[in-house]
A and B are shown apart, each in its own frame.
Chain A
Amino acid sequence: MIGVGRLIVQRQDYENAIERSYQREMAARVQLAEGTNPARARATIRREEANRAHLRDSISGDTRDTVILVGAGLIAGLLGALLLFVGLVTAMRRPLEALVAAAGRLAGGDRSARVEVGGVSEVATLGKAFNEMAAELELEASERDRLDRMKDEFVLTASHELRSPLTSVQGFAELLMMDRDSLTPRQVETVEIILDNCRHLVRLLNDLLDLARSDAGRLSIRPQPTRLGPLMEDVVRTMRAQTEASHQSLNERIDPDLPLVNVEADRIRQILLNLITNAHEYSPEGASIQLGARVADNAVVISVTDNGPGIPAAQLEHIFERFVRGDAGLTQRVGGTGLGLAISKSLVELHGGTISVVSEVGRGSTFTVVLPIAGPAAVEATPPGPPAISEAGRR
């Protein structure tokens, strides 16, 4: 700025000096033209020419010097600003990078992620705030873990505690039944009622346990390559006695070319029994139920269709939720727990599949289960455990 100002003044002086020089030369030329003292006049003219040449050189030099000065000044200023900027960024960058990295670790589940507080004051404040937040999260997470473990322990203990007396009630009722020849018909009926309710309690207990485990993320399956055809035929055979008692028809349309599907057989059986039992219980006498299975894309599509009363749209929305049951007025013998579909949904999803329903009031319903042939994703081949000694477990 100063340099430019000085240059302006210098140029002004130069202009003035040039003008005065021209004036003197003019005067000399007039003298020459008039003839007075021509020698002196010529000398003046020559002197002024030289003078102006000198002035021009001078101002050129000055201009050049000033430009260089200003240029250098600008560059120096720019460099200075650049250095300042880089310095600032560097000072901030490391703590910021550390913060980003720590945030990443925290988000990934490492609750011990913290940063060293340092750097420019705002960044330091940020670092402190981050550490406080991470400490809070760690506390909350371990509290949550503690509660989860408590819940799991409770479910396991409750399940065990409830099963033992249930075993006794059912077991001794069965012993009574072994002596039915020495019982009166009324006594036999009494024992049958006791046994029926035992079975209902067992179903309820199993369903609750399944749901609790599903909630805890601890419901697991051991998928094996399975032939669905024989499994489904077996389920139909099991259900036939009940459907025939209600004069309902139960048919199957199973694609003979079903591939081996990676599933846990007992759980698929459980799902199918749930769906067919629902169709049976919520459809009137004489209704027809159909079980179908076919291949589509990399999956097997299983459907259970009935021509029963159908499900109203309002109920349809919530039908896979817990403790939602159909209109009891239409059922013959509702033995369900309201949990069957909720569990079926959890089980289907554990297998990597989907379950859905379409229904029209007055026409009937179709429940569809899609199971990927490859089974659930990211499942390592688990060797089958020891076999189940039970009605369902017998192969």
Chain B
Amino acid sequence: MTTVLIADDSETILLLMRTRLELAGYEVETAADGQEVVDRIDPGSDQSPDLLLLDAMMPRKSGIDALRELRAAGVKTPALIVSAHQTPDDADAPADLEISGYLTKPIDFDALLAAIAELTAKKAA
């Protein structure tokens, strides 16, 4: 079962994304900010989620900062960033963090689901 970890500071958005992803057959974990994401992921264990879907802007710690910490700790999980901008600049989606793609809100779920399928199939294969 492919697990996706979603992080967003809005409960409504988390509910929306959980509903859509579960309907598409994924298992979903949620986090409310970047710190929870970092706490949730243990670099050594193989119980980690198969994909990260992170909101760029969150209180306490942003998705970008959380990803930076995870990458520094050697976590290779593919990550998608939800950015506030139509076309992100380097602040939203830095090239050196191995971000597999970015989305803007409102989320195009057809495109998102297609991307998740592609990224997690690659991992399984």
Interface residues in chain A, defined as those with a beta carbon under 8 Å from any beta carbon in chain B: 156, 159-160, 163-168, 170-172, 174-175, 178, 198, 202, 206, 209-210, 218, 220-222, 264, 266-267, 383, 385-391, 393-394
Contacts and interface: CB of A to CB of B under 8 A. Distances in A.
B111 A394 contact: yes
Contacts of B84: 156, 159-160, 163
Contacts of A172: 16
A220 B104 CA distance: 17
B12 A386 contact: no
Given A167-B105, A175-B19, A389-B108, A206 B89 contact: no
Given A174-B109, A178-B23, A394-B111, A389 B102 contact: yes
Given A156-B84, A386-B95, A387-B101, A171 B89 contact: no
A160 B57 contact: yes
9 contacts: A202-B106, A385-B93, A387-B102, A388-B87, A388-B101, A389-B80, A390-B104, A391-B108, A393-B111
A239 B103 CA distance: 23
Contact of B102 (A156, A159, A218, A388): A388
B41 interface: no
B16 A167 contact: yes
Interface in B47-98: 57, 80-81, 84-90, 93, 95
Interface of B: 10, 12-13, 16-17, 19-20, 23, 57, 80-81, 84-90, 93, 95, 99-112, 114-115
A391 to B, nearest CB: 5
Contacts of A390: 103-104, 108, 111
**Of A168, A221, A383, which is in contact with the most chain B CB atoms at under 10 Å from its CB?**
A168
Contacts of A164: 10, 12-13, 105
Contacts of A198: 106
A218 B88 CA distance: 11
Nearest to A207: B86
A391 B115 CA distance: 11
The 7 A-B residue pairs with the shortest CB-CB distance in the complex, in nearest-first order: A163-B105, A167-B105, A171-B16, A167-B106, A386-B99, A170-B106, A389-B101
B88, B90, B104: residue with the most chain A Cβ atoms closer than 10 Å:
B104
Contact of B95 (A159, A206, A383, A394): A383
